[in-house]
C-alpha cells in the first residue's frame, strides 16, 4: 500500500478535475485537497488526489540526483 501516481491538473469542475498522467488523461476527485489549482501536480490514489506536491521536479529524479550526488561526493571525501 498504496499505489499512487503523479498527475497534473488540467481542468477543474467542482470536486472533479481532468488530470494528465503523462500522455493519458483521466477524471479524478479533489475532495481531499484544500485549494487545488490548475497546473498543480498531485499524487493520485484510487481516483482521488491525496496531496499537492511541491513541484513537478520534486518527485522526479532530479532532486534525488542532486542530493545523492552530494552524498557521493561527501562520502568519497570522507
Partner 1 sequence: MQEEQIARGLADKIEKLAAGKEIKIMHVCGTHEYTITKSGIRSLLPKNVKVVMGPGCPVCVTPQAEIDAIVELAEKGKVICTYGDLLRVPGTKSSLYDSVGDIHIVQSISQAADYAREHPDREVVFMAVGFETTAPTTAAVLLTNPPDNFSVLVSHRLIPPAMKWLMEQGEANLSGFLLPGHVCTISGSEEYGQFKVPQVIAGFEPLQVMYGLYMLVKQIVEGRAEVENAYASAVKKEGNLKAKRMLSEVFEVCDIMWRGFPVIPSSGLKLKPQYEKYDALKKYGITLKGGAETRGCLCNEILRGVKDPVDCKLFGKACTPLKPVGACMVSTEGACRIWYTYGKAVKSVFTAKNTK
Partner 2 sequence: MEKLAAVQKMPEKVSLIHGAGGEMMQSLISGVFAAIRNNNAGGIGLEALDDGAAIPFGDQYIVLTTDNHVIKPIFFPGGDIGRLSISGTVNDLAMMGARPIALTNGVVIPEGFPIEDLRRIVRSVDETLEEAGCALVTGDTKVLPKEALDSIIINTAGIGITDNPIRDCGLKPGNKIIVTGTIGDHGIAIIAHREGFKFGSELRSDVAPIWKTVEAALDAGGVTAMKDPTRGGVASVLNEMARKSGVKIVVREESLPIRQDVRAAADMLGIDPLEVANEGKAVIGVEADRAEAVLEAIRKTRYGRDAVIIGSVEEGSGVIMKTRIGGQRFIEPPLGDPVPRVC
C-alpha 71/C-alpha 19 separation (Å) is 35
**By CB under 8 A, residue 24 contacts partner 1:** no
Q: Which of 8, 36, 43, 45 binds partner 2 (CB under 8 A)?
A: 45
Q: Residue 15 corresponds to which cell in the numbers above?
A: 470536486
* Best CA proximity match to 22, nearest among 8, 12, 34: 8
**By CB under 8 A, residue 70 contacts partner 1:** no
Using CB under 8 A as the criterion, which residues of the chain lie in contact with partner 1 when the complex forms?
1-4, 15, 29, 31-34, 43, 45-48, 50-51, 53-55, 58-59, 61, 63-65, 67-69, 71-72, 75
Amino acid at each position: 500500500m498504496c499505489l499512487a501516481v503523479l498527475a497534473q491538473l488540467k481542468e477543474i469542475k467542482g470536486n472533479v478535475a481532468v488530470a494528465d498522467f503523462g500522455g493519458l488523461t483521466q477524471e479524478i476527485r479533489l475532495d481531499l485537497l484544500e485549494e487545488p489549482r490548475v497546473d498543480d501536480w498531485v499524487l493520485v490514489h484510487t481516483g482521488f488526489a491525496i496531496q499537492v506536491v511541491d513541484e513537478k521536479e520534486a518527485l522526479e529524479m532530479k532532486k534525488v540526483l542532486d542530493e545523492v550526488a552530494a552524498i557521493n561526493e561527501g562520502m568519497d571525501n570522507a
